[in-house]
Amino acid sequence: MKLSKEQVRHVATLARLELKDEEEERFSGQLSAILDYINQLEELDTDGIQPTSRALDVNNVFREDEVKARFDEGSWRSNAPSEEMDHFRVPKIIEG
Amino acid sequence: MTQPCFMTMGELSAKLEAGEVTSEEAVLSYIERINSVDEKINAYVTVDREGAIEQARDADRLRASGSKGPLLGAPLAIKDLVTTRNLRTTCGSKILENFIPPHDAFVIEKLKQAGAVVLGKTNMDEFAMGSSTETSYFGPTRNPWDTDKIPGGSSGGSAAAVAADLCAAALGSDTGGSIRQPSALCGIVGLKPTYGLVSRFGLVAFASSLDQIGPMTKDVTDSAILLSAIAGHDPNDSTSADRPVDDYTAALDKGVSGMNIGVAEEYFTEGIDPEVDSSVRNAISVLKEQGANIKTVSLPHTKYAVPTYYVIAPAEASSNLARYDGVKYGYRSESPKGLMEMYKKTRMEGFGPEVKRRIMLGAYALSAGYYDAYYLKAQKVRTLIRNDFVDVFKEVSAIISPTTPAPAFGIGEKSDDPLQMYLSDIFTISCNLAGIPGLSLPCGFTSGGLPIGAQIQGDFFSEPTVLRVARALEKGLKLDGGKPAINQDG
């Protein structure tokens, strides 16, 4: 199956990636080849098989919701690309 | 006396204990070696020279006041996706080039409590996506046995650092073979523990249902020592197994006499390198000589492991990597117009091609109209792959196979063909999908002098058995392939 450039562009938007023209072209070819390879899973009859989402059968692990001082005060700030008055700063959210 | 850097961790530990060498001397010996050799290998992204010397002095002081332990003062290298407090953690990516974690991963806390020294952070495929360490933003790592060859990946920096004696031992992470495959190609011992045995808290997430941290070491004994230090329940990882930790060194030398060990024909497929094939078959005969009952077993869904993995792992990755949006930490594109442009440009500029490819693949597999055909289908096949192992482990205690179908390939040889690259993990991936432990150890060399690895897989939480088989094989093979080429002129 062939993934069109339009489909590649749509998926890129879903994934919040801006692709260059040549990347769209390359990904369309490479992803199509990978999907063709993946499609061999269709040979298998999986009716009635339960899906496995995790390797260990653990469910609903609860613990007390306690505040613990794991990080140094304000340590988030040194990694923030932009911050102001104890908040992360981002470009204008409402466009137009 | 041999320089400390050329010792196994166990040997160094004995010398430290006997007072024949100090941790500071050991760290200095490693730093000197890193300074002279690592420009040819590029195993490290960051070397914490001052911090390591300081930690070594602390360890020496603790020892002087009566503290003991197999890791006290041992200089270790850590794959650069395990967070280290106040020490840069990049995941091999431009997007985290300057990220300084405010916290230690659970495994780092455990190692520090045991008195280990963190020498530095090792190179890797970007976000652990790759099998050659060529996708790192910080340039490829080279194989110490032949610097024109890849070291494997994604934990290629850790594997090369151990092989080239640039650390006493290392930690790696394994999502589809990322500990075992580079261990095989660099001639060291690498163990992917049972899913849940080692906490993932502080392991930067790639595919959360598959990722595990594990030891990469010079021999099997070191693997058991390091695993004993990092295993254990952690309330901060909800998938962490709440069960007592075994002493993994206790049963190491009990041998394999009377043990049933499986050989699955699916791992000796067409296309396997003949030297790999004969080397692993020789290893099987060594186990037989030691009294193991070799049984032919079948894992019929093995050929579906790679396609299943390339739905599940990218799907989880596309979700996990959504956090790199230029808001809270990491790289942000210069002066974007509006929020959407900031997200898209930050991610376009911050991620390399392989990471983008996997995010795209995952986003596609999870997108409306395709979820059932890809993601749900792959999860069902995952059940079939897991059931294969459950059935086989009713008959045998361990399975032996090659770790990889071929020895290390050339740098650049598979960079343009993602699918060929993915197939180099064909024998290691089903282990992660099932969640069982798997170990690679050296079992021979090609005529060209490249290492070959044998893989031992075991039932859930059977690390004591896996290590015992590996130790028996290590003793029986008595490999003497010498040291990598890089060690001879260093």
Domain spans, chain B = 4-259+395-488
| Sequence spans of domains, chain A | 1-33
Q: B296: which 2 tokens?
A: 């032919």
Mind listing the pLDDT tens digit for each residue in B109-151? 999 999 999 999 999 999 999 999 999 999 999 999 999 999 9
pLDDT score, position A71: 79
Tell me the ipTM for this assembly.
0.94
User: Are A55 and B196 an interchain contact pair (Cβ–Cβ within 8 Å)?
Assistant: yes
pLDDT score, position B490: 42
How does B386-410 read in b/e, with b if 16+ C-beta sit within 10 Å? bbbbeebbeebbbbbbbbbbbbbbe
pLDDT score, position A95: 64
Q: Which residues of B touch A88 (CB under 8 A)?
A: 327-328
- According to DSSP, the β-strands at B260-264 and B398-402 are parallel
B415 belongs to the catalytic site: no
Q: B335: which 2 tokens?
A: 């002066």
Mind listing the pLDDT tens digit for each residue in B148-170? 999 999 999 999 999 999 999 99
pLDDT score, position B78: 98
List the strands of the sheet with B169-174, edge to edge.
B44-47, B117-122, B75-79, B169-174, B212-217, B189-192, B438-445, B451-458, B398-402, B260-264, B293-297
User: Are A37 and B307 an interchain contact pair (Cβ–Cβ within 8 Å)?
Assistant: yes
CA distances from A94 to A86, B186, B339 (A): 21, 53, 8
Best mutation site among B377, B386, B390, B421 for testing chain A: the one with the most A CBs within 10 Å?
B377
Query: Does residue A32 have a cis peptide bond before it, meaning omega lies within 30 degrees of 0?
Result: no
In the CATH hierarchy, which top-level class contains the domain A1-33? mainly alpha
CA–CA dist B146, B149 (Å, integer) = 6
From A89, which residue of chain B is nearest by alpha-carbon distance?
B327
User: Are B360 and A11 an interchain contact pair (Cβ–Cβ within 8 Å)?
Assistant: yes
CA–CA dist B138, B47 (Å, integer) = 14
How many residue pairs from chains A and B have C-beta atoms closer than 8 A? 171
Cβ count near B129 (within 10 Å)? 30
Q: Are B359 and B314 in contact (CB under 8 A)?
A: yes
The alpha-carbon radius of gyration of chain B (Å, integer) is 21
- According to DSSP, the β-strands at B44-47 and B117-122 are antiparallel
From A49, which residue of chain B is nearest by alpha-carbon distance?
B380
CA distance, residue A33 to nearest chain B CA (Å): 8
CATH superfamily for domain B4-259+395-488: Amidase signature (AS) domain (3.90.1300.10)
- Residues in contact with B122: Cβ distance below 8 Å, sequence separation at least 6, in sequence order: B43, B44, B45, B77, B78, B79, B80, B155, B157, B158, B160, B161, B170
User: Are B351 and A80 an interchain contact pair (Cβ–Cβ within 8 Å)?
Assistant: no
pLDDT below 50 — which residues of chain B? 489-490
Average pLDDT over residues A42-52: 95
